[in-house]
């Protein structure tokens, strides 16, 4: 009989623990690949059609000046998920195996698991070349749909221009991987859960190839397509290090020679519209979810994209087009529907902010700062600029009025964003702005980790694949 009180105490403690867990907010973590600032709520390209992303923006706080940690998939995602900048880890490029320098106890997923969360994932959260499934409690392993992306429509001329790949498809929306990734998110949102959850849904489009069903191309008649702001001699005042990043004789020359610039714009807009449709499906499921009132949403994109501005295509540069990307937050009880924040932030803020709004202690290794004060009051004072790094010791710093770029060889660029939003006039050599450059440069790291490169682990993985291929 003496054991009964002890059993009752244990039962009470268990019930109390479950009750505490139930109060923890869930997180819907939406990642989009290669989506720049061409979304409706940012009004940077009025041709775009993103009603569902705009719908999400109205649900909480939309950031108008939000920037990536790196304008490349792998380092951007590794930095965001680990909380450590490229200059600290040495992960600068797509061939750098982040697993060699980011232990399993450091990522965002680990912080949530330590806090008692069930961690789900689907699609592209980390760069696809490097996976560590042991971080996740459950992950969608088979996205399917790969063959459908090769079913080109009869209207497709070919598969694109050089390395810029695009074509309309003869398939259904449901034939592509992003449909299945979205389905996974919908399924988890509809489940009863006995633990708080962190649900990561990573959509691939508008990453190339911009191959989506023909109907999405039809939404953007070629005769209506407008080219982005462009200046013929834009690179005249850019230093050699910047011109090297622009690579005007590469993708851009090929696009001009092909005469298909407008077709490429059409294709990118079509891929964005396809992704927006899947966001709508996910939000519909969220609205019906039993977890709606206790779930935080954070929507982010890994970096921006150039479509001819500065004679450049793709990301891989430190200008506005490749570094700016959408960021949206919905936090029950904190954010106000339809609020807009014009403060300058970068995506290193996502990890610490999630810790703050979920009531989880912040790990000591985080480089970013929480933007919780801006979620509560978008007009709050803010003095922390955004910083983006591309490759070793090349950094760009952006605040509300300026962008300062400093390359590893000492070359510099400086732009007055208030008077020159297209960054057409480089002021770096004008001595009257030395103080502005010096102030922005204070944010740049004083030490830069050497590039990790392809780790032993990745090389071993390749050897194992070769062995397997020979055995078969």
Q: What is the mean pLDDT of the chain?
A: 93
pLDDT at residue 23 in the model: 83
- The pTM assigned to this predicted structure is 0.92
Identify which of 288, 282, 346 has the alpha carbon closest to the alpha carbon of residue 70. 346
Identify which of 333, 401, 301 has the alpha carbon closest to the alpha carbon of residue 38. 301
Identify which of 419, 328, 418 has the alpha carbon closest to the alpha carbon of residue 378. 328
Looking at the predicted structure, is the pLDDT value of residue 11 above 60?
no
- pLDDT tens digit string along 153-185? 999 999 999 999 999 999 999 999 999 999 999
C-alpha angle with apex 54: 296 to 58, nearest 5 degrees? 55
Measured CA to CA in angstroms, residue 436 lies from 2, 28, 192, 393, 425 at distances of 74, 39, 53, 20, 15
How far apart CA 75 and CA 186 sit, in angstroms, is 28
Looking at the predicted structure, is the pLDDT value of residue 458 above 60?
no
Looking at the predicted structure, is the pLDDT value of residue 128 above 70?
yes
Of the listed ranges 35-49, 66-80, 270-284, 448-462, the least confidently predicted one is: 448-462
Q: Which residue has the higher pLDDT, 389 or 15?
A: 389
Q: Which residue has the higher pLDDT, 24 or 459?
A: 24
- Identify the band that residue 146 occupies on the pLDDT scale cut at 50, 70 and 90: confident
Measured CA to CA in angstroms, residue 280 lies from 44, 226, 314, 367 at distances of 21, 26, 26, 33
- pLDDT tens digit string along 364-388? 999 999 999 999 999 999 999 999 9
Residue 32, judged by CB atoms within 10 A of its CB (0-12, 13-18, 19+), counts as buried
> Hey, which CATH number is domain 24-471, 3.40.50.2000, 3.40.50.2030, 3.40.720.10, 2.40.50.220?
3.40.720.10
Could you give the percent of the chain with pLDDT greater than 70? Answer: 91
- pLDDT tens digit string along 196-222? 999 999 999 999 999 999 999 999 999
pLDDT at residue 471 in the model: 47
Could you give the percent of the chain with pLDDT greater than 90? Answer: 89
Q: Where are the domains of the chain?
A: 24-471
CB within 8 Å of 169: residues ≥ 6 apart: 148, 149, 151, 152, 153, 156, 211, 212, 213, 214
pLDDT at residue 451 in the model: 95
Identify which of 32, 34, 14 has the alpha carbon closest to the alpha carbon of residue 164. 34
Phi and psi, residue 401, nearest 5°: -115, -20
Catalytic positions: 73, 127
pLDDT at residue 455 in the model: 46
E strand or H helix that includes residue 110: helix 108-114
pLDDT at residue 456 in the model: 38
pLDDT at residue 147 in the model: 86
Looking at the predicted structure, is the pLDDT value of residue 104 above 60?
yes
- pLDDT tens digit string along 315-362? 999 999 999 999 999 999 999 999 999 999 999 999 999 999 999 999
Q: Tokens standing for 245?
A: 């990043």
């Amino acid at each position: 009989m003496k054991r009964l009180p002890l059993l009752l105490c244990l039962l009470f403690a268990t019930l109390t623990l479950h009750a505490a867990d139930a109060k923890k907010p869930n997180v819907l973590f939406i990642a989009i690949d290669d989506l720049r600032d061409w979304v409706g709520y940012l009004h940077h390209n009025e041709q775009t059609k993103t009603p569902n992303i705009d719908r999400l923006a109205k649900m909480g706080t939309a950031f108008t000046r939000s920037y990536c940690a790196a304008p490349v998939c792998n380092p951007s995602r590794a930095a965001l998920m680990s909380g450590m900048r490229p200059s600290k880890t040495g992960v600068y490029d797509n061939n750098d195996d982040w697993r060699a320098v980011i232990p399993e106890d450091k990522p965002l997923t680990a912080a949530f698991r330590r806090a008692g969360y069930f961690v789900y994932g689907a699609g592209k959260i980390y760069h696809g070349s490097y996976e560590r499934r042991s971080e996740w409690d459950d992950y969608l392993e088979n996205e399917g749909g790969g063959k459908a992306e090769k079913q080109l429509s009869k209207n497709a001329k070919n598969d694109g221009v050089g390395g810029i790949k695009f074509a309309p498809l003869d398939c259904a929306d449901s034939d592509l991987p992003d449909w299945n990734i979205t389905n996974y998110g919908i399924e988890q949102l509809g489940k009863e859960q006995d633990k708080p959850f962190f649900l990561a849904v990573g959509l691939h489009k508008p990453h190339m190839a911009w191959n989506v069903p023909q109907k999405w191309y039809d939404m953007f008649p070629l005769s209506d397509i407008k080219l982005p702001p462009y200046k013929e001699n834009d690179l005249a005042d850019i230093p050699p290090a910047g011109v090297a990043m622009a690579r005007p004789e590469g993708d851009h020359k090929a696009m001009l020679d092909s005469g298909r610039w407008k077709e490429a714009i059409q294709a990118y807009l079509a891929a964005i519209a396809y992704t927006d449709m899947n966001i709508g499906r996910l939000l519909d499921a969220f609205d019906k979810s039993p977890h709606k009132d206790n779930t935080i949403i954070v929507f982010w994109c890994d970096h921006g994209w150039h479509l001819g501005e500065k004679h450049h295509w793709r990301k891989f540069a430190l200008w506005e087009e490749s570094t700016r990307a959408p960021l949206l937050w919905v936090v029950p009880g904190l954010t106000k529907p339809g609020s807009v924040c014009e403060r300058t932030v970068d995506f290193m803020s996502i990890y610490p902010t999630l810790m703050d709004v979920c009531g989880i202690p912040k790990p000591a290794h985080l480089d970013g700062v929480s933007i919780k004060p801006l979620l509560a009051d978008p007009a709050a004072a803010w003095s922390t600029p955004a910083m983006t790094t591309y490759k070793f010791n090349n950094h760009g710093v952006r605040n509300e009025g300026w962008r300062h770029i400093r390359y590893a060889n000492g070359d510099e660029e400086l732009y007055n964003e208030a008077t020159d939003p297209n960054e057409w006039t480089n002021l770096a050599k004008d001595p009257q702005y030395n103080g502005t450059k010096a102030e922005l440069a204070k944010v740049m790291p004083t030490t830069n980790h050497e590039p990790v490169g392809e780790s032993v682990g990745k090389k071993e993985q390749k050897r194992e694949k070769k062995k397997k291929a020979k055995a078969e």
